[in-house]
Chain A
Amino acid sequence: MNLLESLRTAYRGLIANKLRSTLTMLGIIIGVGAVVAMISIGTGASDFATSRIKELGSNILFISPGSPGGQGFGGARGAEGTQESLDQKDAEAIKDGISTIKKVSPEYTSGAQVIYKKQNTNTSIVGATSTYEDVHNFHIGSGSFIDESDQKTTKRVAVLGTNVVTDLFGKSNAIGQTIKIKSIPFKVIGVMEEKGQSGFQNLDNQIFIPLSAAQKRLFGAKHLSTISIQAKNEEVMDQASEDIEALLLERHEIENADEADFRIRSQAEILDTMSQVTGTLTILLGGIAAISLIVGGIGIMNIMLVSVTERTREIGLRKAVGAKKRDILAQFLIESVLLSLLGGAIGLGLGWGGSVLISRIGGWPSIISLNSVLLAFFFAVAIGVFFGVWPARRASNLNPIEALRFE
């Protein structure tokens, strides 16, 4: 019996029981879908992490305010970063007092509504200084970035991320125009290069203004939301981190390091946290995948056993007209593989769509690789063969006389 005919026979068998076939495939669909989503998110996240480290270098430290109520137990604690414990003086003290660091970028970030003519958008406003560009390795695309005199004179100038430009100006030129942030006019002096997604945040969706302007003119704040620090090189990172901690504890008059009102993290640590999250998600999806593949496989086996019983007379007849054991075996095996392969294909599509959706919604990078496609098909075929062999063997071992008599 040639393969094409076997496929046709198998296809006919599946079509004859559309609903049953679809329900049977469901387990495989979910399983393969989960496998594909898992791999695409996994590779996406690790690709992202490595590219970020490559891009930023592994010599970046971030200092963020701690949560009110300290790090101890008991009492209600505010969210991390909500404490107003860092200020410009801390940043200057770090810059002046620590020898292992190269650049310091104090930042104040908050959300606000931005208006240009009739267009408006809600975006994050980053109060930054001239050091921001180098520390974040995020540079100006056209025009100029905030310089020291802008900072000193609290000048109302703004540098836009590319997304903001598109939102507010469409395709027309933004530089030289005036936008209003919280009703205060700012002149656009530059547009950043395109950077894309970073973790949960889209870097192109920001507006940069002088730190002083953000603090004094817009938000009336004295504190900072982050101090980003570039160490001299990777080797001195630990030293720098320790020195900064000691300095800030001293400045904030805190004796016990456990009660620190700030937190120092490296880029690597942040990426670690992120990869822990993706790791958890991967394990979760992997679990779902494994369970639904097994359940799906059992479903296929079950349906194939039913099908063998239902078609006992057909098997008897095929044997009577000359089908050998291996013909019958092949016929039922092909049917179960076709079933799981079809499920695999649908699952692949859903997994693909799902991971694209996740990356859209969660700002999560996802990559569909040839590997995941191959793996999905491998799993599908393996499941089809593994769970199809037993029913198929049962069919092929039927005694033709008894099979023909079967009612």
Chain B
Amino acid sequence: MVEAEAEEGADHLARHTNTVIEAKDLVKTYGTGDTKVDALKGVSLNIKEGEFVAIMGPSGSGKSTLMHLLGCLDQSTSGTYKLDGSTIKDLNDNDLARIRNEKIGFIFQQFNLLPRTSSLENVMLPFTYTGHANKNARKQAEETLRSVGLGKHFYKRPSELSGGEQQRVAISRAMINNPSIILADEPTGALDTKTGIEVLNIFQKLNKEGKTIILITHERDIAAFAKRRIHLRDGLVESDSAKKKKEIIEST
């Protein structure tokens, strides 16, 4: 199953045809009247399957808001957003939850693993909400954990794992449902430089296998691992550039 996916991913990587994210003139406004804040003032961007994109910007630039919109945790005030072909507009909470479950894998700065719960069960958590039984859940979770080098830590709890290991469990959890995009919000923010780089190397490896990864960060060093970098400033896209191979830090 995983091999099949990898092949499929590689295929897409080669062609780069499917557009996973199509955002046009996204505007997000919070509050009303005097307290009105325009967090996003019209952001347009397309991301194709198999891309590795870093979204950068100082705090207040709107990158968190953009991540929430892309991650279907919130909906835009105006503009259109298509994820994997389906338009995200006027959906209720349940529909958004279903889309998050099926199409998006989240990775957070603080890992957000369930305490007192084994790595395996943490990884299987998204299956809990898919609504149909999955006989291979355990097997898939084991394989995913193995693929990030945690083959020996199936039954360890988060408190028994290092930060880097916890983040790798979180990465496994994000991948388990084979989502259309993986959204990583400052994934190395709570890690030291060395483990941070290890985590970024995992992202690169996953990307090579065909996964679409969107990395939200304010650090240039981190963004350097991505193939394409989008800078936001004051709720608008300031620059959007694909990097040449030599500009990308490659894992060894």
Chain A interface residues (CB < 8 Å from chain B): 1-2, 5, 12, 16, 313-314, 316-327, 400-401, 404
A40 to chain B: closest CB distance in Å? Answer: 40
Query: Are B101 and A322 touching (Cβ within 8 A)?
Result: yes
With a cutoff of 8 Å between Cβ atoms, the chain B residues found around residue A401 in the complex are 68, 73-74
11 contacts between A and B (CB under 8 A): A1-B129, A5-B128, A318-B125, A319-B100, A320-B100, A320-B106, A320-B112, A322-B100, A322-B101, A322-B102, A324-B129
Query: Are A321 and B93 touching (Cβ within 8 A)?
Result: no
Task: Mark each residue of chain B from 159 to 187: 1 if its CB lies under 8 Å from any CB of chain A, else 0.
Answer: 00000000000000100000000000000
Query: Are B108 and A404 touching (Cβ within 8 A)?
Result: yes
Q: Which of B97, B102, B116, B133 contacts A319, CB < 8 Å?
A: B97
With a cutoff of 8 Å between Cβ atoms, the chain B residues found around residue A320 in the complex are 71, 73, 100, 106, 112
CB-nearest residue of chain A to B128: A1
Give the complex CA separation of A323 and B98 in angstroms.
8
Give the complex CA separation of A245 and B198 in angstroms.
104
Assuming the A-B contacts A16-B116, A401-B73, A404-B112, are A324 and B128 also in contact, with contact meaning beta carbons closer than 8 angstroms in the complex? no
Query: Are A322 and B112 touching (Cβ within 8 A)?
Result: no
B57 contacts A by Cβ under 8 Å: no
New A-B pairs, 14, CB < 8 Å, besides A12-B117, A324-B97, A325-B94:
A2-B133, A5-B128, A313-B112, A314-B112, A320-B71, A321-B101, A321-B125, A321-B173, A322-B129, A324-B94, A325-B93, A325-B97, A400-B73, A401-B73
CB-nearest residue of chain A to B185: A404
B95 to chain A: closest CB distance in Å? Answer: 9
With a cutoff of 8 Å between Cβ atoms, the chain B residues found around residue A318 in the complex are 125, 129
With a cutoff of 8 Å between Cβ atoms, the chain A residues found around residue B117 in the complex are 12
B126 contacts A by Cβ under 8 Å: yes
Give the complex CA separation of A400 and B98 in angstroms.
14
B86 contacts A by Cβ under 8 Å: no
B150 to chain A: closest CB distance in Å? Answer: 18
B147 contacts A by Cβ under 8 Å: no
With a cutoff of 8 Å between Cβ atoms, the chain B residues found around residue A327 in the complex are 128-129
Give the complex CA separation of A314 and B112 in angstroms.
7
CB-nearest residue of chain B to A8: B121
Centre residue among B73, B100, B130 by max chain A CB count within 10 A: B73
With a cutoff of 8 Å between Cβ atoms, the chain A residues found around residue B100 in the complex are 319-322
Query: Are A322 and B108 touching (Cβ within 8 A)?
Result: no
Query: Are B98 and A322 touching (Cβ within 8 A)?
Result: yes
With a cutoff of 8 Å between Cβ atoms, the chain A residues found around residue B91 in the complex are none
Give the complex CA separation of A322 and B97 in angstroms.
4
**Which residues of B from 179 to 207 have beta carbons under 8 Å from A?**
none
CB-nearest residue of chain A to B174: A321
Give the complex CA separation of A109 and B212 in angstroms.
97
With a cutoff of 8 Å between Cβ atoms, the chain B residues found around residue A321 in the complex are 100-101, 106, 125-126, 129, 173
B114 contacts A by Cβ under 8 Å: yes
With a cutoff of 8 Å between Cβ atoms, the chain B residues found around residue A400 in the complex are 73
With a cutoff of 8 Å between Cβ atoms, the chain A residues found around residue B130 in the complex are 322
